[in-house]
Every structure is written in C-alpha cells, then in structure tokens.
C-alpha cells in the first residue's frame, strides 16, 4: 500500500487501474499515467468480461484471465466471482491441464517460486526471495502427476497457481498471502525435456535418495521462513505422495489434496447418493477403478465411514473391491504397496471367476457404487454400466479422473445406459444431461469443494495441524449440503454460486473440530464462526 507512482500502478495486488479516482491519482503521483476516464469496478468487470468472451478458445481465455490476474488481482477475482460457473473450467480443470502442457509456450510473467534442484545449496535464499513476506497457504507440486496427464515437469506450476486462485475465490484467502511453488527436480517427459522452449531444468528426474533429501531441505526452509503456513501437496506421483504425507503430516500444518481432499469430497457426494439410492454406504458393495494415491485415499475414508455406520474393519474391507491396470487387488499379488494391500481381497474369494478385470468384478459382485480414479478414459463401458444398472435401481457411478479427456465415462452416456437412473458425479465439469425435455446439472465431485475451506479454517483458527477428524467433518458438512437430500432429482453437490457460502460453513465446522482436537487455540464456536466470516478477503478496491 505504501508505494506510489508507477510502482503502485503496476502492483497487481493494490492497483485499481482506470478506477483510480482523480483525487487518488493526484495523491499517488499517477496524474498523466492513465487516460482521463475514471471507471467503476463494475464497468471494468463488464469490459473484461467482453474481452474474455471474444477469445477464440478455452486456452486463449485461460491466457487472458492469467494476464488479468498478473495485472489487477482485485478485478480478476471480481470477474471470476460474477461468472464463477463459466470461468471455473477455464482457470481450473479441464483447461488448466492444457495450460500445464503448454506452460513454457504460453509463459508471460513469473508467479510464485521455482525451487530448482540446481539451486539446492541456496534454498533459504530462494524462499526469502518470495514475492510477499506473509503467507497463509502454499500449494506445491513437483509436476510429476498433473491431473491425469502424467509428468509435465515445470509446467505443473499451472496447478498451484490455479488451486490458489480457488483458495481466494471460494475460500476467501487474501491473494497477497498465497504462494504457488513448483519443485523443479527434472522431468522424465522426453517431449518436454527436448522441447527448445522448455523452461525447466533439462534433466531426468533425480533418484529417490536425492529427491527425499531435497524435499526435506525444502520443508526445513519453509519451516524456518514461514513456520505457520499451510503446506498443501498437489499432484505428486503416488510413489512420492504417500511417503511425503506420512513423513510430514504430524510435523507440519499440511495435507495432501489428492489423497485427503478428494476423499472428503467423494464421501460428501456419496452421502447424498446413498440416501437417494435408499441404501447406506455400509450396505453397499463399492468398486474402485484405480489404485493410485487418490483412489486409495478415497477408500480409506469410505472404510472409516462404513465402520462409523457399524461395520468392523474387516467387514468394511470385504465390501471394497479395487481394480488397477492388472486387475483386481488380491492378497496373492506381490506388487502391492502397503496402502493397496489393505484393500486386497482374499484370492480364495475370486476362485472360479472367469477373470479379474473390472467387467468380471461388476459381473460377480452385487455392486452399488462404481468409482473411477484411474485416468483410463472410457473404462466404464456400456456393457459394464448396463450390467451394473441391472443390479440396482439407483446405481452410483462417479467417473472422477481429470481432465475431461481422462474421464472413465461421460454423464450423458451413463444417463442413457441406465435409463436416467444413475446417480452421477464427475471430476471435471460436464454440460447438463437432458432427459424428457428436462436438463439436470451434473455434480462435479472435485476436491475444490474441500481445500479452500480447509485453508480458510486453519488460517482463521490458527491451527497447527490438519487432522483426520477435520477432514471427516469437512466431508460431513459438505454431504449435509447436498441438494439431492431434499430432492432426488437435484445434483449430489451444491451449485457453484453457493460454494463460497458452503465453504464458510465447512470452514467453521473444521475450525471447531481443530479446537476439539487440540490443534488450535481455545475459542467458542460462535467466535470461530465470526472470525471465519470476518477473515474472508473480498474483491473490492481499498
Ligand atoms: N476429482 C478429483 O477431485 C480428483 C481427481 N483425481 C484424478 O484421479 C486420477 C488418478 O490420480 P492418482 O491416483 O494420483 O494417479 P495414479 O496414476 O497414481 O493412479 C492411477 C491408478 O489407476 C490405475 N490405472 C491406470 N490405467 C488403468 C486402466 N486402464 N485400467 C485400470 N486401472 C488403471 C493405475 O494402475 P497402475 O499403477 O498399475 O498403473 C493406478 O492404480 C487422475 O486423473 C487425477 O486427475 C485426482 C485427485 C482429485
Ligand atoms: C482435482 C485434482 O486435484 C486432480 O485431478 O489432481
Ligand atoms: Mg490434484
């Protein structure tokens, strides 16, 4: 706020552009630096929306919005908040996936921190060079599993930038207090590495010993510089995601969005779905396609929920069937990680089956819930879905892989193959499904319903850890807001326009839980609710 003149005019966080009044221009040394007209923020929104609308395709629209964000953050968030449903798919999945693939080509200006392995001796200096001193939330990736698009190296930076935009848009986190980070540890994507435009370190990914030592150094630098920050891990390959979470979850204020955020949103959506289907989760047989960190994270939470509904651990596990690229996870497989092994079915249970692929499991088991976190586009085939639809009145089918090009099925197909009976939620956004002249919105079961609220909760309540119970409360509060609970024809998750308000509700419940869990200072529930409402940043010129 202190700067004047050009520095003030070009400070994206505090500029008002053509909305500086004549008096402000005089006070701030801006006279003559702007055309004489004085705009209101509403007029600026109208103008930028028109500009946005003239862009040819979604990537152009993404580039336009990113440029606006770099120029005037208040206006960027005001525009987004007035067109949330239209712009979410542009700043986030699916368009952000293409923006990551073409990151070096569309690169304009730096944002956040590029923490590169060759700079490892100077990590503290890198952290000290962060653009803003005070930070509430870091989102960090190493670019190895960007949505379902694999290794994008430094291009993965598009994801932390996009996620943090949603922390602000939905969770009301002050954009000046967010920090996107990419750990540049090389890339195994040969096409990227050999692209002359590639802006990252042209090197194969470093080996695990160097990798974990580097992550440890990075964490140490973050702790020293920003001891209270929330550190969110995003889009790490499963092989690294789980060990990193295990190593740091009890040492830092941290969570892994793909594991824990996805689990919470899936459980939230299943709440409305199970109620509409008329059968609680604990009475369902659940099939998951994909045994990566997202899939296993979701299943851990489903199992806990089944236990809270009265099953033993073993009974719950016996209702969960996981299929990966090799087929069903069974206890005679030697290639399973510890996390996967917890969901392996006894091999004896499948003796006599013709095979152990998804179609076989759906054929043999009384499946009520089919979930996909596999990146396998089209894997929920007509044959599989029709078989499932023959077993239950209201099949619950969630193709959750991102971006759209990786979805296991499209909602209009699921609708057709089940005669409109499927209860559907998808990872990326899809157009409404039309049946008998009536259009129905498709719920987007994406962790964006959760992470902004977690950020808001821990920031406002000054929490020091993200506990499992905090995540469970987030899932429960979201589930209770399902429009399908009051009308089975409504989507399983709330509309985007309502999401900022619901994020506030989730954040309040999570903050209350943080106090209960002893990881945030004592405060009454009312005080927390008030603190959360008051701490929300708003896109208004100061
Ligand atoms: N909706 C949401 O909010 C979220 C969605 N996601 C999406 O989930 C997907 C998976 O993420 P993540 O778990 O981290 O990724 P991983 O790559 O770690 O996991 C993918 C899993 O699917 C399996 N798989 C791959 N291809 C097939 C196939 N053809 N048939 C059966 N199984 C297959 C893999 O098996 P194997 O290991 O043997 O190859 C692996 O078990 C991504 O598309 C991601 O965008 C992730 C987080 C949140
Ligand atoms: C949504 C998300 O986090 C993912 O697809 O990775
Ligand atoms: Mg992710």
Do residues 515 and 404 share a domain?
A: no
Task: Spell out which residues line ligand 2, taking CB within 6 angstroms.
Answer: 93, 147, 235, 257-258, 402, 427, 446-447
Q: Which domain holds residue 197?
A: 95-252
Q: Please give the average per-residue pLDDT across 23-42, as a whole number.
A: 97
Do residues 169 and 264 share a domain?
A: no
Closest CA to 129 of 221, 211, 252: 221
Q: What's the pLDDT tens digit per position in 89-118?
A: 999 999 999 999 999 999 999 999 999 999
- CATH number of the domain to which 125 belongs: 3.40.50.10380
Q: What's the pLDDT tens digit per position in 280-309?
A: 999 999 999 999 999 999 999 999 999 999
Domain boundary among 428, 445, 462: 445
Do residues 389 and 362 share a domain?
A: yes
Q: Is the pLDDT confidence value at 394 over 90?
A: yes
Alpha helices in 102-201 (DSSP H): 103-106, 123-128, 158-171, 190-194
Q: Is 133 exposed, middle or buried (0-12, 13-18, 19+ CB in 10 A)?
A: exposed
Q: Does residue 86 lie in a domain region?
A: no
Please report the ipTM that was assigned to this predicted complex. 0.99
Cβ(490)–Cβ(437) below 8 Å: no
- Answering whether pTM is above 0.90, one says yes
Query: Which position has the token pair 């920050």?
Result: 229
Q: Is the pLDDT confidence value at 405 over 70?
A: yes
Do residues 332 and 438 share a domain?
A: yes
Q: Is the pLDDT confidence value at 1 over 60?
A: no
Domain boundary among 429, 445, 461: 445
Do residues 342 and 416 share a domain?
A: yes
Q: Does residue 527 lie in a domain region?
A: yes
Distance 290 CA to ligand 2 centre (A): 14
Active site residue 92: yes
Q: Is the pLDDT confidence value at 2 over 80?
A: no
Do residues 303 and 419 share a domain?
A: yes
Tally the domains of the chain: 4
Do residues 204 and 171 share a domain?
A: yes
Show binding-site residues for (S)-malate: 145, 402, 446
Nearest 5°: CA angle at 79, between 73 and 84? 120
Range of lowest pLDDT (1-15, 253-267, 378-392, 434-448): 1-15
Q: Please give the average per-residue pLDDT across 265-278, as a whole number.
A: 97
Do residues 383 and 488 share a domain?
A: no
Q: Whose CA is nearest to atom 45 of ligand 1?
A: 147
Percent pLDDT > 70 in the chain is 100
Do residues 244 and 267 share a domain?
A: no
pLDDT of residue 3: 85
Q: Is 241 exposed, middle or buried (0-12, 13-18, 19+ CB in 10 A)?
A: buried
Neighbours of 118 (CB within 10 A): 11
Q: Does residue 540 lie in a domain region?
A: no
Distance 340 CA to ligand 1 centre (A): 13
List strands edge to edge, sheet with 320-324. 327-328, 320-324, 285-289, 367-372, 396-399, 423-426, 443-444
Q: Which of 77, 163, 198, 476 does the annotation list as catalytic?
A: 163
Q: Does residue 480 lie in a domain region?
A: yes
Do residues 60 and 106 share a domain?
A: no
Domain boundary among 445, 475, 500: 445
Closest ligand 2 atom to residue 448 Cα is 1
Percent pLDDT > 90 in the chain is 99
Do residues 396 and 503 share a domain?
A: no
């Amino acid at each position: 706020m202190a700067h004047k003149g050009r520095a003030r005019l070009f400070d994206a966080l505090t500029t008002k552009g053509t909305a500086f009044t004549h008096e402000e221009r005089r006070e701030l040394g801006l006279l003559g630096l702007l055309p004489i007209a004085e705009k209101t923020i509403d007029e600026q929104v109208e103008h930028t929306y028109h500009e946005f609308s003239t862009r040819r395709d979604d990537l152009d629209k993404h580039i336009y919005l990113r440029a606006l964000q770099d120029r005037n953050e208040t206006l960027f968030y005001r525009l987004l908040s007035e067109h949330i449903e239209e712009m979410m798919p542009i700043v986030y999945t699916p368009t952000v996936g293409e923006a990551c693939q073409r990151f070096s080509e569309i690169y304009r200006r730096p944002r956040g921190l590029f923490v590169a392995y060759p700079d490892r001796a100077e990590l503290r200096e890198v952290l000290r060079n962060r653009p803003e001193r005070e930070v509430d939330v870091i989102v960090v990736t190493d670019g190895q599993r960007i949505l379902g698009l694999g290794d994008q190296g430094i291009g993965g930076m598009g994801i932390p930038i996009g996620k943090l935009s949603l922390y602000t848009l939905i969770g009301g986190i002050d954009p000046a207090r967010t920090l996107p980070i990419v750990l540049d540890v090389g890339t195994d994507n040969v096409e990227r590495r050999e692209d002359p435009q590639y802006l990252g370190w042209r090197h194969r990914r470093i080996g695990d010993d160097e990798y974990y030592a580097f992550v440890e150094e990075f964490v140490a630098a973050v702790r020293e510089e920003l001891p209270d920050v929330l550190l969110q891990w995003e889009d790490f390959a499963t092989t690294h995601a789980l060990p990193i979470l295990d190593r740091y979850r009890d040492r830092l204020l941290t969570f892994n969005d793909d594991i824990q955020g996805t689990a919470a949103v899936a459980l939230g959506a299943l709440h409305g779905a199970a109620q509409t289907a008329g059968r609680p989760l604990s009475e369902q047989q659940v099939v998951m396609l994909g045994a990566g960190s997202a899939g296993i994270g979701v299943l851990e939470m489903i199992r806990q929920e089944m236990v809270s509904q009265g099953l033993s651990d073993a009974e719950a596990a016996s209702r969960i069937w996981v299929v990966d690229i090799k087929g069903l996870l069974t206890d005679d497989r030697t290639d399973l990680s510890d996390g996967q092994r917890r969901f392996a079915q006894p091999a004896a249970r499948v003796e006599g089956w013709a095979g152990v692929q998804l179609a076989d499991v759906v054929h043999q088991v009384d499946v009520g819930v089919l979930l996909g976190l596999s990146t396998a586009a089209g894997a929920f085939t007509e044959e599989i879905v029709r078989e499932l639809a023959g077993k239950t009145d209201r099949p619950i089918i969630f193709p959750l892989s991102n971006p759209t090009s990786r979805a296991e099925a499209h909602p209009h197909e699921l609708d057709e193959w089940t005669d409109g009976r499927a209860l559907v939620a998808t990872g990326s956004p899809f157009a409404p499904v039309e049946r008998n002249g009536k259009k129905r919105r498709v719920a987007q079961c994406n962790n964006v319903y959760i992470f902004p609220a977690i950020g808001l909760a821990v920031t406002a309540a000054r929490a020091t850890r993200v506990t499992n119970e905090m995540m469970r409360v987030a899932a429960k509060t979201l589930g209770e807001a399902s429009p399908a609970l009051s009308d089975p024809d409504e989507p399983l998750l709330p509309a985007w326009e309502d999401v900022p308000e619901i994020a506030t509700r989730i954040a309040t419940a999570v903050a209350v839980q943080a106090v209960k869990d002893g990881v945030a200072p004592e405060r009454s529930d009312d005080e927390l609710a008030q603190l959360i409402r008051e701490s929300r940043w708003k896109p208004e010129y100061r």
